[in-house]
Structure 1
């Protein structure tokens, strides 16, 4: 919906004792807020090699309507949908990881089903992170 202020409306408002600025303010207040793209379920994901305070950081915005953001976005969205967006509740995947200590910190901030999501976890290595978070933090794919 578009509101147009005509010269006639401005003259009438001036006769009524309103200023042009007041007319414009009233028109702006009556206009509906512009609608942008749907915010939907979204998470800003970051993976930092190291303990999270320094190191190589990669990040992306995961959108789930439609799935986009990284190579396994559809799979990540499906996994998150299965646990209601609670990353800590993702079921661990089967597999074996070495006991090599090369920490990685996974972090997610965003919104899922209208609720804020904040997640931060440091894992002993990337293999353990992938086993515990599935496709969600698979940013290299």
Structure 2
């Protein structure tokens, strides 16, 4: 099995686990519009450094900075692209970071995908949403 197919298999398994959690967890059933499955991948195609988590926002959980991420998403109406960019001085080092978000917010589907030039730019543009490392 190639590294790419392993990554695809792991992501599929994680999504299946998230779906099972959502189908069986009482807090999620009570507020189905407030969750996102988030993934972050560092590096290019030859590097396999991926992380993922299920962010729940009623109450905030499942994410190292869940309360901050949920508050930022609430202010942006669940639209990651509308989170105000922070002033940051980032190096011009190219160390790509690709992020994905899938889920629902206020009953609307959310789909977000973007590659940032490095982690500093990612943090400046998306706040705490993709701060998956604590």
Q: Does TM, normalized by the shorter one, top 0.5?
A: yes
Root mean square deviation, CA, Å: 1.9
Of residues 42, 46, 65 in structure 1, which corresponds to 2:39? 46
Contact 2:36 2:103 in 1 (8 A): yes
Q: 2:65 aligns with which of 62, 69, 72?
A: 72
Partners in 2 of 1:35 and 1:92 — Cα distance? 34
Distance 1:57 1:137, change over 3 A: same
Count of aligned positions: 108
Give the alignment's TM-score, normalised by structure 1.
0.71
- The residue number in structure 1 matching 2:118 is 125
Structure number having the greater helix percentage? 2
- Is the 2:33–2:108 Cα contact (8 Å) retained in structure 1? no
Q: Matched residue of 2:99: which SS?
A: strand
Task: Show structure 1 runs of 5+ residues with no match.
Answer: 1-33
Aligned partners of 2:85 and 2:125 also within 8 Å: yes
Look at both structures and tell me which one has the larger radius of gyration over its CA atoms.
1
Distance 2:83 2:133 in 1: 20
SS of the counterpart of 1:63? strand
Contact in 2 for aligned 1:93/1:134 (Cα 8 Å): yes
- Structure 2 residue runs of 5 or longer lacking an equivalent are 1-23
- Cα distance between partner residues in 1 of 2:42 and 2:99: 9
Instruction: Please tell me whether the aligned partners of residues 54 and 62 of structure 2 are also in contact (alpha carbons under 8 angstroms).
Output: yes
